[in-house]
Chains A and B, each alone.
Chain A
Amino acid sequence: MTNVLVCIKRVPDSSGEVLLTDDQQGVDGRYVGFTVSNHESCAVELAVQTAEATGGTVTLLTVGPSEATEQLRDTLALGCHAAVLVEAEPTRLGPADVAREIAHVVREKEAAGTTYDLILLGNDAADSGDFQVGIRLAHALGRPVVNGVSTVEVADGHLTARGDGPDGEETYSPPLPAVATVLEGGVEPRYPTLRGRMAAKKVEIETRPLSAEPAGASRVRLLLPPPMPSMVEVLGEGPEAAGAVADLFGKLGVTR
């Protein structure tokens, strides 16, 4: 029975053009809405699969504004069991603060009798891209950490985590409890079911304040990179183009 903790972050959906808020402190999600990153979606999928395989549970945790309950509920609907919101204005927090807050919750839960054998995070945050929280968290908890993994399995008190390395697939097998950061691509995240969504509504989200004042590096402002030049390739016109379109879909993995 493996209890998994998955850390998620409320971020604007990035499938449209990225817009900044007027104060440059955040990304404007007005047109696209908010979501969690693809990495985190894969982490959730791995967590749900692991919990299903071992008869364990999945707990979600986020550090963010009260609006992040939307992401907690949306994610709970995928088959997770509990959720914790550490309420904070995210622009004030750097990665050290976030890692400290997660570690604080993990320790308190452990003291209360709940151990999270496996903690999964996204490889990096979709908005700030710090690449730090996972490692800092593992360090704070004194646990092993594997970064950038595509799949995880739990057996015999060990985590088996696989990911692409420079020379091919790499496999790590640290002992549990452990931390892993997940890179998208290893699994296909599920959509919510109606029943999942209805069950998610009934879960009481545990809301906690920050355990300490922000102390680490924090955000000054966000800047947009210059727009990427766009390239258009016309595959053809009319029915004759169908083959080229089908080939492209295959290459992109849209069709399988």
Chain B
Amino acid sequence: MAEVPQQAKCVVIGSGIVGNSLVHHLARLGWRDIVQLDKGPLPNPGGSTGHASNFIFPVDHSREITDLTLDSVRQYKELGVFTESGGFEIARTEERMEELRRRMSSAKAWGIESELVSPAFVKEKVPFIEEDQFIGAFWTPGVGVVDSLRAGTIMRDGAIESGALTSVPNVEVTALDVEDGRIRRVRTNKGDIEAEYVVIACGVWSPKIGDMAGVSIPLTPAVHQMISVGPCPQLSGLPGEINFPIVRDMDTFCYERQHGADMEVGSYAHRAILHEPEDIPSIEQSKLSPTEMPFTSDDFDPQLEQAYELMPELLGADGAEMRYAINGLLSLTCDGAPILGESQVKGLWTAAAVWIKEGPGVGRAVAEWMVQGHSEIDISHCDIARFYPHQMRREHTRLRTTESFIKTYGIVHPAEQYESDREQRLSPMNESQKKLGAVFFEAVGWERPQWYGSNADLLEVYGDRVMPREHEWDARWWSPIVNAEHLRMRESAGVIDLTAFAIFDITGPGALDAVQRTCVAQCDVAVGKVIYTPVLDGKGGFRSDLTVMRLGEDHYRVVTGGAHGMADKKWFADQLGDDASLVDLTDQVSTIGLWGPKARDILSQLTDADVSHEGFGFLSCREIDLDGITVLASRISYVGELGWELYVSFDQAAAVWDKLLATGAPLGARPVGIGVYVTTGRIEKAYRAFGLELDGERTIVEAGMQRPKVKGADFIGKEAYLAQRASEPAAVLCTLAVDDHTSASGVKRYMLGGEPILTRSGETLTDGHGHHPYVTTAGSAPSLGKHLLLAYLPPEQARIGNELAVSYMEELYPVTVIGNDATPPFDPDNERIR
């Protein structure tokens, strides 16, 4: 048995699927002196991997999660531990059938073979199912099961054999030593290890280990109930582990998965049963294993009857008994995404809240990130740096996962809002907004008005120009008031609360170097200039896009979206040299946007400063006095109108807001919600958004955002960017307009995003990456009277006037390419901004 070494380059804590896959990939990428620890024995140390049901349905609505799943399946296949069984998601209701049609959109968008089938089709493959219990199904032949313990063993043993890894079971981590913000040492009950890197990859125990270094890993252990019924005569005596497709009974939140002679029935239908990591029993205290908690049969009883209804002859067969039943623990997070990446402690990494279907893919991506600084698959939405303080509270995780658990198999609208733990961050204008009847959507804790009930009077003013939606799904979490606000902004002006921006200052003699190194755009500009810039990773993929203001020779202010603001802050902080420092102003500085043809009239009524085009040019910023209040005004626009972002301290923001609204009212100005800011105003201008059009797998060239010149100064990703510019793009971001919205039933339908783009006759398109085009943003363009879509198309399809189709709920709608670069469909010459 291996002993605990005294030194290591990297210590990986955990020998589940994630830890094993991680050590394998670290070794493959050339790292040596890796040490893997687990408190439990090998090969099954007692974590969630050991009791996983081990099946994989590849289709998810999230592209990033699907990418990780497909990469994992590829790895499982290479390891020889994947058995293809096929899988059904069955629908008992028409509402679910519609969701399965939406599933088909995702399947086509991600290029996964799937089809909608009849109950008779299911019955042919699953003879013991009752056909009259459901009305249709989503069939994915590539669904399969894996042996995740075996996979982990193969990967771990491979790393040991290559001489890169020492794996020590039965060792308990007792402390993590942090010195000067850097991880130094792992203390265990069998000796201490000095280490350059440490990765916490121990699933449900991760928060407990994170706490040892003062790092919040906000996941909660949660129960997933499963029973195993057998031996079933229909399953006995067949070769191998699985012979029939897996059935997900979506409307009862259950699944039925053959395991040898037994049928496993798992449930996501029960109340959320959450535990604290500290309350998980030790191996000695456990009945089966620490993560196989005692079964609470009352919680499962309703599901028994539903499962029995679906498969009475199998589950009710003579001799078929419930031989095994557990409350299995798995990890859940507040936003459903894994927790990966380096924590605020340098060298201390996390790889947690990962399921079997993503394990090997996550192992590879995190290993690449650690060794190379970036991963092939974009995992920015999983970055541990994304969390704001309110999200690091255990209470937040508990409340949000309690709300989301029951939605595991639920029908979740893409814009659906959480109800729990709201009002964590309120902008200074919140009181005023409530009086204006704001409908609040949440963005990283901020309550942001999506639209204002007080603007309902505009619906009559604009009539059909607000493009009303008649189908409930298309209109859910939406209002035609958004489009009315949009039209009013284009006609007069809109005042928009942008408090959710993350704002941080970089100061010091090294400030210029730090921002130059981080940003693609030239940052060595005159004081008072505003820079819009992409931020790239080392392989030339997007880390972010944001604005930087030069406020002094040694003073830059970075303004970025709230959703990824914390990750951006860490990225900038990591590039600071010794001569620069970073100060977060997010909770001190509020931002108010003022845009529209009347914006200058409104502003000039409140200030003596010269706000003329000549006196206050586009992409410049300066402090002005606004009726006695000092604000930093920056002349930029994300909605394609003349106007400013006004930065003002929190204590004075509400006063500025009121003054703008009061001064603007006689000119027709209105408060305008985020629906305009992030969708309608943006899509009319074909402005790209990080997380939708822009991510780690996309390039500046593909996004059509390259400038004529590349700055001389070095920056992260420069070499890759130069190479991208020198070759043809593999895909081109295009703007498409929907030509006809009429569905077969006559109801007009409006796409919401995520739908596949196909040829007019419904054939698949494939770009140079081997990916298939899908809608990255969909939204109304009220000024054009069109519904617009953004999508990356294969270069040969990226022709203006090209006639294609979008598939929505399994019907084809004609679309036409109206833009194949960043040229705005609305006001293409940007005359309104001047």
Contacts and interface: CB of A to CB of B under 8 A. Distances in A.
A70 B281 contact: no
Given A33-B294, A197-B322, A13 B301 contact: no
B55 to A, nearest CB: 21
Contacts of B305: 198
Given A31-B293, A197-B297, A13 B320 contact: no
B269 to A, nearest CB: 16
B304 A74 contact: no
A31 B287 contact: yes
B284 A32 contact: no
A192 B287 contact: no
Given A32-B286, A197-B304, A192 B322 contact: yes
Nearest to B263: A194
Contact of A194 (B229, B284, B288, B298): B229
A109 interface: no
Contacts of B316: 193-195
B320 A16 contact: no
B202 to A, nearest CB: 19
Contacts of A31: 281, 285-287, 293-294
Nearest to B297: A74
Contact of B320 (A17, A34, A194, A201): A194
A246 to B, nearest CB: 19
Interface string A22-34: 0000000111111
B323 interface: yes
A195 B284 contact: no
A17 B286 CA distance: 7
A27 B288 CA distance: 18
B70 interface: no
Contact of B321 (A19, A34, A191): A191
Contacts of B301: 197-198, 201
B258 to A, nearest CB: 16
Contacts of A201: 301
A192 B321 contact: yes
A31 B280 CA distance: 8
Nearest to B294: A33
A100 interface: no
B154 to A, nearest CB: 15
Contacts of A13: 287, 294
Contacts of B297: 70, 73-74, 197
Interface residues of A, number: 23
Interface string B291-322: 00111111001001101100000011000111
Given A13-B294, A194-B307, A195-B316, A32 B322 contact: no
A74 B294 CA distance: 13
Contacts of B298: 70
A84 B692 CA distance: 62
B284 A193 contact: no
A15 B286 CA distance: 8
A190 interface: yes
Interface in A179-225: 190-195, 197-198, 201
Nearest to A28: B285
A16 B287 contact: yes
Nearest to A237: B1
Given A33-B295, A198-B308, A190 B321 contact: yes
Nearest to B229: A194
Interface in A12-58: 13, 15-17, 19, 29-34
Nearest to B319: A193
Interface string A48-85: 00000000000000000000001001100000000000
Contact of A193 (B294, B296, B321): B321
B285 A193 contact: no
A16 B229 contact: no
A15 B289 CA distance: 11
B783 to A, nearest CB: 60
A197 B303 CA distance: 12
A251 B530 CA distance: 80
B328 to A, nearest CB: 14
A73 B304 CA distance: 14
Contacts of A34: 294
Contacts of B296: 33
B287 A194 contact: no
Nearest to A74: B297
Contact of A16 (B279, B284, B323): B284
A29 B297 CA distance: 15
A16 B292 CA distance: 12
B623 to A, nearest CB: 61
B304 A32 contact: no
Nearest to B282: A17
A198 B304 CA distance: 8
Given A193-B322, A194-B320, A16 B304 contact: no
Contact of B285 (A17, A190, A195, A198): A17
A110 to B, nearest CB: 33
Given A33-B294, A70-B298, A73-B297, A194 B304 contact: yes
A19 B286 CA distance: 11
A191 B294 contact: no
Contacts of B281: 16, 30-32
A33 B296 CA distance: 8
A1 to B, nearest CB: 24
B270 to A, nearest CB: 15
B595 to A, nearest CB: 58
In the complex, which of the residues B281, B282, B296 has the most CB atoms of chain A within 10 Å of its own CB atom?
B281
Contact of B315 (A19, A29, A73, A194): A194
Contacts of A19: 285
Nearest to B317: A193
B285 A32 contact: yes
Which 6 A/B pairs are nearest by Cβ-Cβ distance? A33-B294, A191-B321, A31-B281, A32-B287, A17-B284, A17-B285
11 contacts: A16-B285, A19-B285, A31-B293, A31-B294, A33-B296, A70-B297, A73-B297, A192-B321, A193-B321, A194-B322, A197-B322
Given A33-B294, A198-B301, A198-B304, 16 more contacts: A13-B287, A13-B294, A16-B285, A16-B286, A17-B282, A29-B294, A30-B281, A31-B287, A31-B293, A32-B287, A70-B297, A191-B321, A191-B322, A194-B304, A197-B297, A201-B301
